[in-house]
């Protein structure tokens, strides 16, 4: 139902697109508090995608950024590559951002991130309003923001709460638990439960997957039970999605259920050799390069589903949710930006005419 409509629209868009250009664009931003493992995740994902990268297409906005020693990120940088996935060629860009600080500084930092996201929308708007549009114009919109949560407590920190609210008004936010190798199984489960409850039920932050009922949909939701706006808990959302699966065999709804039931996904980065900056070999006679970390008591592997959800995150952004995220970005966030901009430009024009005609408002 809901998600099917999305995919139908998208497939139409893609057919038109694929006739003109072979590549679809997908851009992911990584954000969160300082030291939560964002840069290490970017490096690990790039390393993991290596086998899918089309030769010669890897580009870094700052030279050697993936090879230099790991240190706190001071400015935005991006890593772009063309990836071949299921026969489709994707131009995939990761944007790493400096970690947020506690306290007042976060306002300034979030404003900067918001400006960056808006700037990408502005590029689309400029292109759209041209008389002759460039059909090969790059899509630089941010389709998803992987937000690395602070895991000090079993609930959202004030900083995360604030940042999630600000970001989710502009971009599809996907919360992530980084450095999962430092958590026991029990700690992970408690964190997941606590975060899910805070984001969806207690605070109703409209991150990716949250469904905001339209007024006319309110009465129909959840087995005929009347729901008021803002009362959609995780249980209700899952119930609605299951109805879509049962009634229409909706594949997108099924994909979304899989995500919502297990979010926030956990991940950890590989261990770097301090001299070479390359992933350390996990066993002395390792032939195939496995990404992970070695402890005295065990070896943890990034791509092992028993150890963390890294592979789920990878397939989420590279395949499973890519189309839904792109459509959502265009229809929800870009449309909102476009409407606001066009309205404010119209108001400015009217004001300027009034001033010119000497009818200055009192
Ligand atoms: N145990 C463990 N340590 C990690 C992991 N990822 C990163 N670290 C360590 O945590 C520290 C911070 O990692 P970064 O990846 O730079 O974190 P960041 O979120 O990018 O930090 P800022 O750029 O300051 O915002 C470094 O000392 C890393 O070695 C992980 O998955 N597991
Ligand atoms: Mg960093």
Mean of pLDDT values over 287-313:
92
pLDDT of 13: 41
Nearest ligand (C-alpha, residue 268): 1
Q: Is 99 in the pocket of ligand 1 (CB under 6 A)?
A: yes
Q: What pLDDT score was predicted for residue 271?
A: 94
Ligand 2: centre distance to CA 290 (Å)? 23
pLDDT at residue 9 tops 70: no
User: How many angstroms does the Cα of residue 304 sit away from the middle of ligand 1?
Assistant: 20
Ligand 1, atom 7, residue with closest C-alpha: 37
Task: Share the mean pLDDT of the chain.
Answer: 85
Ligand 1, closest atom to CA 36? 19
pLDDT at residue 286 in the model: 62
Domains of the chain, earliest start first: 2-327 (3.40.50.300)
Tell me how far the alpha carbon of residue 108 is from its chain's centroid. 21
Q: What percent of the chain has pLDDT over 70?
A: 86
Task: Look at residue 231 in the predicted model and tell me its pLDDT.
Answer: 55
More confident: 337 or 131: 337
Of the listed ranges 66-75, 157-166, 257-266, 323-332, the least confidently predicted one is 66-75
Is the distance from the beta carbon of residue 35 to the nearest atom of ligand 1 less than 6 Å?
yes
User: Does any ligand 1 atom lie closer than 6 A to the CB of residue 294?
Assistant: no
147 Cβ closer than 6 Å to some ligand 1 atom:
no
Å from CA of 292 to ligand 1 middle: 14
Residue range 326-350: mean pLDDT, rounded: 91
Q: Which ligand neighbours the alpha carbon of 36 most closely? A: 1
- 38 C-beta closer than 6 A to ligand 1: yes
**Distance in Å, CA 261 to ligand 1 centroid:** 27
Mean pLDDT of 151-172: 94
Pocket test of ligand 1: the residue of 31, 33, 35 to mutate, having most ligand atoms within 8 Å of its CB, is: 35
pLDDT band, very low/low/confident/very high, at 7 (cuts 50, 70, 90): very low
Ligand nearest to the CA of 71: 1
Residue of the CA atom closest to atom 32 of ligand 1: 179
N-term to C-term CA, the chain: 51
Please name which ligand lies nearest the alpha carbon of 182. Answer: 1
Tell which wins on pLDDT, 119 or 137.
Answer: 119
Chain-centre distance for alpha carbon 112 = 17
Separation between Cα atoms, residue 350 and residue 354, nearest integer Å: 6
Q: Is 243 in the pocket of ligand 1 (CB under 6 A)?
A: no
**For residue 111, what are its two tokens?**
């404003």
- Which pLDDT value is given to residue 254? 94
Q: What is the pLDDT of residue 10?
A: 37
Q: Mean pLDDT across the stretch 170-174?
A: 97
266 CB under 6 A from ligand 1?
no
The whole-angstrom separation of Cα 144 and Cα 141 is 9
């Amino acid at each position: 139902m809901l998600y099917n409509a999305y995919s139908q629209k998208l497939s139409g868009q893609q057919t038109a697109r694929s006739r003109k250009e072979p590549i679809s664009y997908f851009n992911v931003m990584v954000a969160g508090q300082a030291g939560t493992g964002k840069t290490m995740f970017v490096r690990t994902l790039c390393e993991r995608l290596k086998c899918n990268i089309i030769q010669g297409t890897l580009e870094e906005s700052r030279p050697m950024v993936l090879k230099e020693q790991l240190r706190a990120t001071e400015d935005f940088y991006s890593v772009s590559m063309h990836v071949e996935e299921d026969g489709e060629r994707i131009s995939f860009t990761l944007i790493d951002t400096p970690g947020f600080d506690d306290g007042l500084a976060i306002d300034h930092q979030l404003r900067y991130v918001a400006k960056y996201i808006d700037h990408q929308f502005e590029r689309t708007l400029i292109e759209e309003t041209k008389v002759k549009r460039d059909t090969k114009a790059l899509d630089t919109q941010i389709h998803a923001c992987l937000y690395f949560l602070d895991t000090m407590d079993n609930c959202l920190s004030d900083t995360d709460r604030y940042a999630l609210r600000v970001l989710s008004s502009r971009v599809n936010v996907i919360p992530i638990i980084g450095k999962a190798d430092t958590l026991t199984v029990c700690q992970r489960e408690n964190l997941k439960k606590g975060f899910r409850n805070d984001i969806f039920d207690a605070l109703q932050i409209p991150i990716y997957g949250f469904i905001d009922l339209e007024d006319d949909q309110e009465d129909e939701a959840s087995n005929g039970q009347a729901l008021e706006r803002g009362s959609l808990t995780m249980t209700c959302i899952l119930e609605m999605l299951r109805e879509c699966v049962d009634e229409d065999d909706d594949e997108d709804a099924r994909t979304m259920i899989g995500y919502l039931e297990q979010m926030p996904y956990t991940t950890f980065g590989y261990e770097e050799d301090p001299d070479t900056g390359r992933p350390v070999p996990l066993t002395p006679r390792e032939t195939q390069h496995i990404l992970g970390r070695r402890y005295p008591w065990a070896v943890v592997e990034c791509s092992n589903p028993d150890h963390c959800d890294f592979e789920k995150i990878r397939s989420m952004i590279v395949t499973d949710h890519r189309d839904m995220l792109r459509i959502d970005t265009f229809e929800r966030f870009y449309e909102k930006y476009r409407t606001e901009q066009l309205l404010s430009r119209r108001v400015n024009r009217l004001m300027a005419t009034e001033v010119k005609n000497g009818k200055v408002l009192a």
